[in-house]
Structure 1
Amino acid sequence: MLCPVADDDATLLAAWRDGDTRAGSRLFDRHYTRLARFFRNKVGDEHYDLTQQTMLTCLERCDQLRDDQRFAAFLLGVARNVLLHHYRTRARKLDKLDFGVSAVADLAPGGSTILARRHEHKLLLEALRALPLEQQILLELYYWEELRGGDLARFYGLPEGTIRTRLRAARQALEGTLPKVARQLGIEVTNAADNLETWAREVRPLLEV
């Protein structure tokens, strides 16, 4: 089957499901960077396998894509489920694994594998990994995918007010974690909370390699 002339996400996804491998390749290439950003600071080099798994899962579940839902948001939702399943299968005590408490720093010790040349970038990456995984996901969706209140509410299927409350709590947790991680890394930094938006914007390209 030839790749369709229209190349919007919905058309490519439908064509891929019908057996058009070229459409699948175009869709994968278009969203690979987004998936890399999602996984890089949470699983390191394993992001290659999880990215492939996410795209294949999207193909299997594309009938669940709602008419009012952007494919990118649907893709990130699948990526989140793939990530949580990844850590559940690695955990020894599944009944005690709580992603509202457990952090990547505990689940996959060893530090971020992302090459950060500036101390403040390294600090932000490690501080995010020290947060409960669900808070890390929420903040990275906010900072790096630029999903805001309404988008995040649709993503999680929760009221926007609930999302805003969780965002405030996650940001406060990050601001409280930054000084602790800075001491662990031997980094001196001032006004970290005031620089979060700038640091996040600068770190974003590092996740796309």
Structure 2
Amino acid sequence: MTNEVVPWVDDMVAVRDARDEAAFIRVFGHFGPRVKAFLMRTGMDAALAEECAQEVLVTVWNKAHLYDATRASPSTWIFTIARNKKIDVLRKQRRPEPEDLPWGPEAEPDQAEVIGLQQESEQLGRALRDLPEKQRELIEKAYFGELSHSEIADQTGLPLGTIKSRIRLALERLRHSMK
């Protein structure tokens, strides 16, 4: 791979191999605003996106030794880190802090709501069982096993593109089954 074909490879390799601060400053200057914009486009407010973008670039510095130019371009690698950081932030926001937990008896859920959720769960279970086995296994690993596409590829030995295609097809089938 040359720098003309995939920009930023030389700088990422310099950061990875020599902890080159000047190269990292260039990477940070280029990708910092782009990561922040990406996070804001996904619904994050500006202040949180700025903080998260900085954490992403700190992760890039700290984990530069893991960068492999043969597996991903610098932008793909960095935006994957950003996507994972965004998921971490969303998960953290959804977990209530102990002082936010309600005390005392909880209100009983509406019976119609409970029945509706049970029916949807049963419908989803049938739809999952009806998927081709190869697609169902990947959906289970991704959503129930909470594995990333890359982790699934490492675990199964399948190419990342195959994993993504099968999951995309499976989700489309599930969407149609749930209508």
Query: What is the TM-score when the length of structure 1 is the normalising length?
Result: 0.42
Task: Identify the structure with bigger relative contact order (alpha carbons < 8 Å, sequence gap 6+).
Answer: 1
Q: Which has the larger radius of gyration?
A: 2
Query: What is the TM-score when the length of structure 2 is the normalising length?
Result: 0.47
